[in-house]
Amino acid sequence: MRKKKGSRIRESEEVLERTRYLNSKEFKDKMAKIKSDRESQTYQEWVEHSTGIGRERGGTCIRPDIFLTWNDKACDGCTCYEFCLCYNKRKSLDKKKKRLK
């Protein structure tokens, strides 16, 4: 089904505006700053950023291969343990936390 002529024109104007922004100096400077910030991160900052995504839901495990395969769902042997922000973070001797609902 064909769209009305007015909606096609509006869509093309939105696409042109987005293309102009993506090619602008402002956008390129913003992306260059983000790239330089990522390159200059310390290991601790990288782990905190990677595991803290979705923190309100408990964070994300950066090494699920260690957490899920052995150790009874514990972080024994994980190099990121001390900086990790994941809700499931625990050593094998610690009690398991109650599940979030």
Predicted TM-score (pTM) of the model is 0.54
Per-residue pLDDT, 50: 81
- According to the 3-state scheme, what is the secondary structure of 11-75? HHHHHHHHHHHHCCHHHHHHHHHHHHHHHCCCHHHHHHHHHCCCHHHCCCCCCHHHHHHCCCCCC
Flag whether pLDDT at 83 surpasses 90: no
d(CA 75, CA 88): 9
Q: pLDDT, tens digit, for every residue of 7-47?
A: 666 677 888 888 999 999 999 999 999 999 989 999 888 88
Q: pLDDT, tens digit, for every residue of 59-82?
A: 778 888 877 776 678 888 888 888
Average pLDDT of span 50-64:
74
